[in-house]
A = this chain, B = another copy of it.
């Protein structure tokens, strides 16, 4: 009899796990995926660009449709909401258009993802307030834009907030970003965060920092009228929640599983939540191990979700494979400013027990004498006693952000700044400088240490 594998959630992690195990086991596995929405395997990260108009249609964001997965032998049930997990008897209860029923499993994969953090303030359920985590939320924002709003308040100044602010200002809306932190992109050290705030203002975005939304006001018809903060009232037609996400783990918690950092599910390297009861998890609902701080962390990103899904799928198929953790790499863009970071900032590094020494260098995207060269600022943090690189942050123009990969790989391999300075990175005048910007930063750090 084939093994019955039930996957809760059909986006990156869930479908990667399902596809990987099905490909490996074929007919000896029955793979059932239960997904709340009508879609599978889509790019949530692409939603801001869909709203901005860069991506023409919803379909462009779908990497693989339910039918394509079905053609690969996976039983995908969309618009099916899981309502309960019974881990002792090995059953999942779910509701679809035909009612509620339960599915028995030999192995359970929880890939329930994340949901927008909705501020718990009066009026938060008003019409006109949208998250941008799922395709239906994205479609709802696009519908709202059809009614030609003039003003938008983006709540939150992390990368989702920034990308949505760009989308809105490019669509001609008066755009206000309200963030609780003293500057946009809290992951950035203040010096670089200020550069981002200045850029956003130059792009016509109103940036309100250190400001907390306390309520949303509606008119007599229940329509959104204004966002109220601890510093004033901002009239608006539309609110977009760019407040980050939280792990969607209510089901897991209700089933008695314990939660970790930011309510995410702790898993071992192979993605096991509860080995005895055959429970696995992957994606935006799980904790990750941070290879620099050596602590569990919560980093909901498609890159990790895909890899974690593959890891669970391989292990389900009997091929041991480990997810080795993260170093905290992230990238984003505001209009023409590229932003990227990896590893630990100064404060986080100190909290993790390091002795961080920060240095900042100004560099150019390639040889300074070439046409089209652009500026970038790189800040790196190194550990004084070990001379190890601990983190790097980049803010710059076109051609800056991808440099973060070199820093990420240096962190991954626990390189010192001295080592990194001496590596053999590519050079030609249209691409880099004879001392690559990454190495300029490492060299400065080595010299300061």
Contact = CB atoms under 8 A, between A and B. Distances in A.
Interface of A: 12, 43, 45-46, 49, 54-55, 60-61, 159, 291, 301-304, 306-307, 323-333, 338, 340, 342, 367, 369-371, 399, 401-406, 408-410, 412-413, 415, 419, 421-432, 434-436, 438
Copies of the chain in the assembly: 2
B301 A427 contact: yes
A374 to B, nearest CB: 13
14 contacts: A45-B434, A55-B369, A55-B370, A302-B427, A303-B436, A306-B434, A324-B419, A324-B422, A338-B431, A401-B426, A401-B431, A402-B403, A402-B426, A405-B405
A330 B404 contact: no
A433 to B, nearest CB: 9
A434 B403 CA distance: 17
Contacts of A332: 428
A329 B434 contact: no
A43 B429 contact: yes
B46 A367 contact: yes
A60 B371 CA distance: 11
A426 B331 contact: yes
Contact of A340 (B404, B405, B413, B426): B426
A78 B119 CA distance: 69
A276 to B, nearest CB: 27
Contacts of A410: 409
Given A367-B46, A402-B426, A302 B434 contact: yes
A423 B408 contact: yes
A363 to B, nearest CB: 14
Contacts of A409: 406, 409-410, 413, 423, 425
Given A306-B434, A409-B409, A409-B410, A45 B429 contact: yes
Nearest to A365: B402
A113 to B, nearest CB: 14
Contact of A427 (B331, B403, B412): B331
A432 B412 CA distance: 19
A422 B413 CA distance: 12
